Amino acid sequence: MNWYKVGELTDHNKPFIKKVKAGGKSVCLVGYEGRIYALSATCPHAGAELSGGWCREGKIICPFHRYSYNLQTGKGDPGQHDYVDTYPVEIREDGVYVGIASFGDKWREMFG
């Protein structure tokens, strides 16, 4: 797992949604109810930018067709049959970091 700094420390209680880069990957960073979440930047339904959406009841809502995805698990609402990738977030002394699994990490996960 490689960790990438994606922002400075801010007031975590302020809600926000923004697109950031972490190791060449586009990530949607969300501050919601005092926690920070990191998800795929792109909606799997038809490719909208999730950072243009909004949050409600622990989910991010896509601005195009209003599909919703759980901020913690990435799981789509029942009936959508889809999900977005989620990434771990760490708050460190010098900023906010997002962890991106390398190819080697994924390989080890699959084949031990």
Binding site for ligand FES (CB under 6 A): 43, 45-48, 62, 64-65, 67
Nearer to ligand FES, 18 or 66 (CB): 66
Nearest approach, Cβ of residue 47 and ligand FES (Å): 6
| CA separation for the pair 39, 55 (Å, rounded) | 13
Give the containing element (helix H, strand E) for 100: strand 95-100
Residues across the chain: 112
State the Cα–Cα distance between residues 15 and 21, nearest whole angstrom: 19
Pick between residue 17 and residue 43 the one whose CB is nearest to ligand FES.
43
Of 70, 67, 3, nearest in space to 32 by CA: 70
Q: Considering beta carbons, is residue 62 or 100 the nearer one to ligand FES?
A: 62
Shortest spacing between CB 50 and ligand FES, in angstroms: 7
